[in-house]
Amino acid sequence: MVNEGLSELGPILLHHVPQSRSQRVLWLLHELGIPFDVRVWPFDKTLRGPEFLALNPAGRVPALEMDGRSLWETGAIIEVLCERTGRLGRAADHRERADWLIWVHFSETISQHAAALTQQHVALREEWMRSPTIMKLEAARVGKCFDALEARLKGDWLLTEFSAADVAVGQAVLMARRFHMVGERPRMAAWMSRLEARPAYRAACDEGQGLYAQDFYEVPHV
Ligand SMILES: N[C@@H](CCC(=O)N[C@@H](CS)C(=O)NCC(=O)O)C(=O)O
């Protein structure tokens, strides 16, 4: 892919809650090395207020202001940013296009479990509101996603070279591994270490207080 379109990029503003899915877009923006600003939002009812709903009608992060409008849905934002910059994506006629799309969107399969577990362990504050059964099931489903990743990781990166697919799945794993350890998955562990060594990854970890107070949340014994 060539770098066409970069000069046409106007101001970019990421609406972000640290350690949420918007970290995926923040990390990608750092990898792309393009200018952008960040507005940090609290993870609370503010996201359901009229100001934020004008950015994302579902009241979710991320939202990305670009081209005089707001974009939402992490996977869509990743595709648009890669297409507009001509970097870290795979063009429609590229032999790795299908795999790139699969991985970018597989990140949401992982994230849905991380989101359910975040709701259980973090958002629901009263013990009686939580379900140990759901915690256990969702954590097990994270493990199955990790197995899928371990089975398909062959080289240093998900595709022949580093791409936004590594950012997407990597950030999803960062969220999910708070609920299920990477454990005995050596290819995955080495890949995560490579990702964590990237300057753009480190830059994306520095934006404010996050969602989580703990590195790991144990599954209750039921
Ligand atoms: N599929 C959407 C999911 C977005 C999403 O649910 N984001 C979470 C943070 S990780 C959120 O904003 N939750 C706020 C809420 O549910 O109130 C995407 O990938 O953008």
Q: What's the domain range around 133?
A: 97-204
Q: Is 23 in the pocket of ligand 1 (CB under 6 A)?
A: no
- 62 lies in the same domain as 122: no
Q: Is 96 in the pocket of ligand 1 (CB under 6 A)?
A: no
Number of compact structural domains in the chain: 2
Picking from 19, 51, 85, the residue at the C-terminal end of a domain is: 85
CATH number, domain of 177, equals 1.20.1050.10
- 147 lies in the same domain as 109: yes
Q: Is residue 221 situated within a structural domain?
A: no
CATH number, domain of 11, equals 3.40.30.10
- How many Å apart are CA 84 and CA 90, to the nearest integer? 12
- 73 lies in the same domain as 104: no
Predicted pLDDT of residue 209: 73
Q: Is 30 in the pocket of ligand 1 (CB under 6 A)?
A: no
CA 40 to ligand 1 center in whole angstroms: 14
Return the bridge partners of 13, or none: 37, 65
- How many Å apart are CA 43 and CA 64, to the nearest integer? 17
- β-sheet with 63-66: strand ranges across: 37-40, 13-16, 63-66, 69-72
- 125 lies in the same domain as 192: yes
Q: Is residue 215 situated within a structural domain?
A: no
CA-closest residue to ligand 1 atom 20: 73
pLDDT tens-digit series, residues 111-140? 999 999 999 999 998 999 999 999 999 999
Residue among 14, 21, 71 whose CB has most ligand 1 atoms within 8 A, to mutate: 21
- 80 lies in the same domain as 160: no
Picking from 53, 85, 117, the residue at the C-terminal end of a domain is: 85
CA 76 to ligand 1 center in whole angstroms: 13
- Write out residues in the chain with pLDDT < 50, as ranges: 1-3, 5
Predicted pLDDT of residue 207: 60
